[in-house]
């Protein structure tokens, strides 16, 4: 027999952003060629990378989780194709 949840559940607390994600980081020259040279939070850098990837049609047609690097992204990633899950880890070397 299934039991119903009570309607007096605590209201959801609003999440506060993690300060580490909001800290402005300076991109390396290779990454700056894609996202710009101004210091940005890590979340903005990832967002700008996705804008670049979509604008240049760099997602693999057969597997959308894979990104095919062009000349600029190959300098950042260090290889011709990366998965979208490893992309965030690879840009860690390119920010200060």
Helix (H, G, I), strand (E, B) or coil at 9: coil
Amino acid 47: pLDDT: 94
- pLDDT digits 0-9 by tens, 45-73: 999 999 999 999 999 999 999 999 999 99
Nearest Cα residue to 73 out of 45, 53, 88: 53
The band of 7, judged by pLDDT with boundaries at 50, 70 and 90, is low
What pTM did the predictor assign?
Answer: 0.77
Average of per-residue pLDDT values in the chain: 88
CA dihedral 7, 13, 45, 58 (to 10 degrees): -10
Per CATH, the homologous superfamily of domain 21-94 is SWIB/MDM2 domain (1.10.245.10)
Scanning the structure block, which residue is given the tokens 């011709």? 80
The band of 95, judged by pLDDT with boundaries at 50, 70 and 90, is very high
Whether the pLDDT of residue 23 is over 60: the answer is yes
Question: What distance in Å separates the CA atoms of residue 58 and residue 40, rounded to the nearest whole number?
Answer: 23
Amino acid 8: pLDDT: 61
Amino acid 88: pLDDT: 86
């Amino acid at each position: 027999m299934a039991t119903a949840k009570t309607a007096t559940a605590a209201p959801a607390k609003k999440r506060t952003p993690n300060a580490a994600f909001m800290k402005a980081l300076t991109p390396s020259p290779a990454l700056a060629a894609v996202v710009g040279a101004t210091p940005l939070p890590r979340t903005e850098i990832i967002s700008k990378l996705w804008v670049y990837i979509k604008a240049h049609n760099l997602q693999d047609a057969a597997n959308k989780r894979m990104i095919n690097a062009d000349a600029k992204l190959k300098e950042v990633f260090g290889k011709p194709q990366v998965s979208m899950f490893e992309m965030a880890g690879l840009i860690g070397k390119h920010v200060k």
